């Protein structure tokens, strides 16, 4: 891991102590560099970006309405292109609510148009900025403000859906594996077209995790296979980045109060779901050796 070239996230922003989202944002920004304009919809990220007249980011930020991030970034991109600023990066920093749910329609359309945008989803698996309610990224059985008995359905598979748009690049990453994350941001900088990176960002308050355990939890998420690190290029070339699944999902659940009260059958259900997801991913990665006709 190299030394951070330039810190584009200012100190003094309003994120919670120990926030993994702020940490992730800091590294993504540093990798992107200063010739970047960010689109940040309502989210914890927007809290870090403000309030007026201060700015937490040393780059221009446009804050769109919640349902409109990818569409807004498209308009911004086209305007910069029209003004000859084709090398300036346009990046979306959005939460999972703004991505998986209310912003999903325009996200799909921007991907279909293959707009030249990097979209980074800071996925903390719920509406954490409004006090931890369920989104379609919230995992099975997790308790939130709107699922007090635990969410009855599984998490939406954003990477698979977006890869199915045949976009140049869709990947998962995590600040627990920083060299992998930075490599992915650098890789997308050199690409054109629609690129998506989904970062798993434990929300300390929303998930019920001690302040000093956020980063450790991102590693547990990967090592338990709950959040595998992988890349999909052009919709079909899957690459598993590792580390691979090596420990039971129980280890990941135990440190989070959002999973409190799970019985053995629930834990077994989650283990089976993780195993099935992992098997599907492996099958994709193995098919990778054969180019499509």
Partner 1 sequence: MKALLTGNHAVAWGARLARPQVVPVYPITPQTPVLELLTEFHAAGELAAEMLTPESEHSVMAACIPAALAGARVFTATASQGLMLMHELLHYAAGARAPIVMANVNRTVASPWAFWPDQTDSLAQRDTGWVQLYVESAQEALDTVLQAYRIAEAASLPVMLNLDAFYVSHALEPVHVPDQATADAYLPPYAPEHCLDPARGESWGNVVTQEMYCRHRRELDAAMARVPAAALAADREWQALTGRGWGILERYRCDGAALAIVTLGSMCGTAREAVDALRDAGVAAGLLKVRLFRPLPAAELRAALAGVRDVLVLDRNFSPGVGGVLHQELRGALYGMTHAPRVQGYLAGVGGVNVPPSKIVELAHRALQEAPSLEAAWA
Applying CB under 8 A, which residues contact partner 1?
34-37, 39, 46-47, 49-55, 58-65, 67-68, 70-76, 78-83, 85, 88, 105-106, 108-110, 112-113
Helix (H) or strand (E) holding 231: strand 230-233
Helix (H) or strand (E) holding 284: helix 264-287
Token representation of residue 28: 């993504």
* 22/16 Cα distance (integer angstroms): 9
Residue for token pair 């779901």 = 273
* 26/22 Cα distance (integer angstroms): 6
What is the biggest distance separating any 2 CA atoms in the chain, rounded to whole angstroms? 59
Residue 79 or 191 with smaller CB distance to partner 1:
79
Residue 194 or 227 with smaller CB distance to partner 1:
194
Residue 77 or 184 with smaller CB distance to partner 1:
77
Phi then psi dihedrals of residue 121, to 5 deg: -95, 120
Residue 59 or 274 with smaller CB distance to partner 1:
59
The least distance separating partner 1 from the CB of residue 9, rounded to whole angstroms, comes to: 14
By residue count, the chain amounts to: 293
The least distance separating partner 1 from the CB of residue 2, rounded to whole angstroms, comes to: 22
Residue 1 or 79 with smaller CB distance to partner 1:
79
Exposure string of 181-212, with b = 16+ CB inside 10 Å and e = fewer, is: bbbbbebbeeeebbbbbbbbbbbbebbbbeee
Token representation of residue 10: 């200012």
* 244/282 Cα distance (integer angstroms): 10
The least distance separating partner 1 from the CB of residue 156, rounded to whole angstroms, comes to: 19
Cα R_g (the chain), whole angstroms: 18
Q: Which of 208, 231, 215, 229 is nearest to 288 (CA)?
A: 231
The least distance separating partner 1 from the CB of residue 56, rounded to whole angstroms, comes to: 10
The least distance separating partner 1 from the CB of residue 105, rounded to whole angstroms, comes to: 6
The least distance separating partner 1 from the CB of residue 219, rounded to whole angstroms, comes to: 33
The least distance separating partner 1 from the CB of residue 103, rounded to whole angstroms, comes to: 10
The least distance separating partner 1 from the CB of residue 203, rounded to whole angstroms, comes to: 20
Tell me the β-bridge partners of 165: none
Residue 37 or 222 with smaller CB distance to partner 1:
37
Q: Which are the contacts of 201, defined by CB distance < 8 A and separation ≥ 6?
A: 20, 21, 24, 122, 123, 124, 175, 218
Residue 64 or 202 with smaller CB distance to partner 1:
64
| Separation in Å, CA 224 to CA 85, 221, 251, 272 | 43, 5, 7, 12
Residue 80 or 178 with smaller CB distance to partner 1:
80
């Amino acid at each position: 891991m190299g030394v951070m070239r330039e810190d584009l996230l200012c100190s003094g922003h309003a994120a919670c102590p120990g926030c993994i989202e702020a940490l992730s944002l800091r590294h993504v920004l540093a990798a992107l560099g200063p010739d970047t304009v960010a689109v940040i919809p309502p989210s914890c990220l927007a809290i870090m970006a403000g309030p007026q007249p201060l700015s937490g980011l040393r780059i221009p930020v446009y804050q769109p309405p919640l349902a409109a991030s990818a569409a807004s970034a498209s308009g911004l991109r086209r305007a910069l292109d029209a003004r000859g600023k084709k090398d300036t990066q346009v990046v979306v920093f959005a939460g999972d609510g703004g991505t998986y749910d209310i912003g999903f329609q325009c996200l799909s359309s921007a991907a279909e148009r293959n707009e030249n945008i990097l979209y980074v989803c800071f996925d903390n698996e719920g509406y954490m900025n409004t006090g931890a309610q369920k989104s379609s990224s919230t995992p099975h059985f997790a308790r939130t403000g709107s699922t007090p008995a635990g969410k009855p359905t599984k998490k939406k598979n954003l990477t698979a859906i977006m890869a199915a748009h045949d976009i140049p690049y869709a990947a998962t990453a995590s600040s627990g594996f920083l060299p992998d994350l930075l490599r992915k941001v650098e890789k997308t900088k050199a690409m054109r077209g629609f690129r998506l990176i989904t970062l798993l960002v434990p929300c300390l308050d929303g998930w019920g995790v001690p302040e000093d355990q956020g980063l450790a939890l991102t590693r547990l998420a990967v090592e338990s296979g709950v959040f595998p690190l992988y890349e999909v290029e052009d919709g079909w070339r899957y690459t598993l980045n590792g580390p691979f699944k090596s420990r039971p999902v129980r280890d990941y659940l135990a440190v989070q109060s959002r999973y409190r009260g799970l019985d053995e059958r629930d834990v077994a259900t989650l283990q089976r779901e993780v195993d099935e997801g992992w098997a599907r991913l492996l099958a994709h990665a193995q098919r990778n050796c054969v180019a499509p006709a």
